[in-house]
Structure 1
Amino acid sequence: MRVAFLGMGKMGRLMAARVLAGGHELTLWNRTPGRAGELVAAGAREAASVADAVADADVAVLMLYGPESAGDVMESVHVAAPAGLLVINATTVGPEAARELGRAASAAGLRYVDAPVVGTLGPAREGKLKILVGASELDLAAARPTLELFGDPERIVRVGDVGAGSALKLVVNLSLAAATAAIAETLALGTDLGLDRQVVLDELAGGFLGGILGYKRPMIESGDFTPPAFTVEALAKDVRLAIRATPRPLGIAQAVLDLTGQAADRGHGEADFSAIADLPPLDAAASPTTGTADPARRPYSTQA
């Protein structure tokens, strides 16, 4: 199988490595060249352009930053791809963008599978990602051999037609954001009330926040949020997509954006998303009586 892999970020490189390890012919492309030298050294070919990458591919996999980058790349795919090319978009783009990309791909004579992944660097390295698929049963069957190279075969879930996978991905990531924000505020409250931080963490670990604390507690305890599995800025991007996807006001999502903005202002934009739990101590900007910060002091708007 000839696979074109478009996007060599941290996740993309690990997922592409699984394709190469599966014995397939791999062609790579990234907007900034030279990001996957280890894969080229192992036998992959680096293409000079998207058109070059997909020209003779059987499957193209996209793992990019968001809907804008995916849309730009897909325009180039449409021009150069062979008829019937199977496009698997693992980028988190939101449901409406996924449907638009799917319609455009179909008009260009291509097959399109909406397949955002759930999981971070560890599962990607091991080929154990969960994949939320929006596609016809026929297109999923065609994509499954590729998806199983980097996804857990038992966790490749067809959610519905194109757009459904991206919709569920936003739901999943908003739940992750909300849980992390809850840790941030409960830890801050415990500190403000004079409680020992370890005592608070122990109590939270035994409750409904225990799942996320189970793997983020070392970072939260140490204050070292590197290396990131999923960055603060990436979390903020996905929360904005969730807000744009519905006319319903999402108050918790807006609060998360405030926390991500504060974290970025402290230099944590490229740190692991758990850095939003590292709230600074109370200062003159907040009253311990009311718990309300001066709105003029907030460095980031909560608007999407």
Structure 2
Amino acid sequence: MSSTDRPRVAFLGLGRMGAPMARHVARAGYDLAVWNRTRSKAESFAQEVAQEVPQQSVQVADTPAEAARGRQVVVLMLADPTAVREVMSGSSGVLSAAEPGTLVIDSSTIGPTVTREIAAEASGRGLRYVDAPVYGTVGPATEGVLEVYGSGERENFERARPFFDQWGDPAKVRYLGPVGAGSAAKLVRNLILGVSIAATGEALRLSSVLGLPDDLRNDLIETSQLGPSYPRIREIVETGRTKPAAFEMVLLLKDLDLCLREADELGLTQAVREACRRVVAAGHGDEDARALAVRMAEGV
């Protein structure tokens, strides 16, 4: 596909995950417009792209509507349901400017219920909507090896596939069925993540109370079912470095809230959510989510 054949793209949301994902789009030569709630981040992004890819220019838009106007593809990578609703349906939102037939790819983590509501509104305006949250942190996003959970009409998924293959390991780009299935899969993965982190925190706490030496504690956890996720937690334990965060604790709390909105009978998830809420309230919300284990071990 030549550069003249590529659709014009708008990318909305240039946070820790959005910026590297948008950079892959720019490197691929797409005509790109970007919007971010903090405009200075969008301007910095455009300057970085210009330095890396001199022949590529990036338009910085003042509103989501301005970014989406005249674009064939609009990508959203936003923090939560409130942000997605505002960017899609607000007075200066995508729906006020996008033309019928525009493909909307929402890679935000907002849960299946909200996803289906937004998808229905977008479809009612003649837009094509793909629910495609990604699993992974800043490193995989930068390397383009995220997991992608796509759902919606299969034709729309295939239209979005060139972008998924930029962001993710092609072997981990999955089509999961009707819209909302991707968001459901993402919540399940993040529930497992949150519960595993909390379980590690309690193991650390119990090890300390029982007076186990560090080497034995590490061996017990590393050879357990929690072993695969322990190295990063162990690094935090040993160095005390909780920032910069690959995935902020406040975002884990948001995702646990979303899980419980979908199914409030999840007792273990409720307990982990309360532990996470307590740690965030104590001022640790901007730390890496895996620091939850360390803070729990400390008795926060």
CA drift of 1:38 comes to: 3.9
Secondary structure of 1:124 counterpart: helix
1:13-35 deviation digits (Å, cap 9, x = unpaired): 11000101111111100111111
Q: Does 2:295 correspond to 1:279?
A: yes
1:220 to 233, 237, 242: 237
2:276 partner amino acid: T
**Letter of the 1:276 counterpart:** L
Q: TM-score scaled to structure 1, two decimals?
A: 0.89
SS at structure 2 position matched to 1:78: helix
Task: Extract unaligned runs of 5+ from structure 1.
Answer: 284-297, 299-304
1:241-260 to 2 correspondence within 5 Å? 241-247=258-264, 249-260=265-276
Give yes or no for contact 1:263–1:275 (8 Å, CA) kept in 2: no
Find the aligned partners of 2:235 and 2:168 in 1 and give their Cα distance.
Answer: 27
Query: How much has 1:129 moved relative to structure 2?
Result: 0.9
Q: Which residue of 1 aligns with 2:62?
A: 48
| Residue 281 (structure 1) shift | 6.7
Residue type of the alignment partner of 2:224: G
The offset of 1:195, in angstroms, is 1.0
Q: Which residue of the partner structure matches residue 29 of structure 1?
A: 35
Once the 2 structures are TM-superposed, how far is the Cα of residue 37 of structure 1 from its aligned partner? 3.4
Aligned pairs, how many? 283
Aligned 8 A contact 1:85 1:111 in 2:
yes
Q: How far does the alpha carbon of each residue in 1:91-136 deviate from its partner, in whole angstroms, 9 at most, with x for none?
A: 0010111110110000011000000000000110011111101111
How far does residue 88 in structure 1 lie from its aligned partner after superposition?
0.2
Partner of residue 74 from structure 1, selected from 88, 108, 111: 88
Rounded to whole Å, the distance in 2 between the matches of 1:281 and 1:5 is: 40
Deviations 1:169-204 (A, max 9, x none): 100000000100000001100100111233212221
The answer on 1:263 being equivalent to 2:269 is: no
CA distance in 2, matches of 1:202, 1:70: 43
Name the CA distance, whole Å, in 1 between partners of 2:202 and 2:247. 20
TM-score, normalised via structure 2 length = 0.90
Match of 2:160 in 1: 143
- The alpha-carbon distance between structure 1 residues 279 and 10, as it changes in their structure 2 partners (threshold 3 A), is closer
- CA separation in 2, counterparts of 1:206 and 1:160? 36
The match for 1:191 is: 208
Q: How does 1:1-304 map to 2 (within 5 A)?
A: 1-41=7-47, 42=50, 43-75=57-89, 76-247=93-264, 249-279=265-295
Judge which range, 91-100 or 198-207, deviates more: 198-207
Contact persistence 1:187–1:197 (CA under 8 A):
no
Over the matched positions of the two proteins, sequence identity in percent amounts to: 40
Alpha-carbon deviation of 1:221? 2.3
AA aligned opposite 2:208: T
Deviates further, 28-37 or 227-236? 28-37
3-state DSSP of counterpart to 1:60: strand
Moved more, 143-152 or 229-238: 143-152
Coordinate RMSD, CA, aligned? 1.6
Equivalent-residue separation in structure 2 for 1:246 and 1:260 (angstroms): 18
Name the SS for the 2:273 alignment partner. Answer: helix
SS of 2:17's equivalent in the other structure is helix
Q: Which amino acid aligns with 2:85?
A: G
Gaps of 5+ in 2: 1-6, 51-56
Q: Secondary structure at the match of 1:155?
A: strand
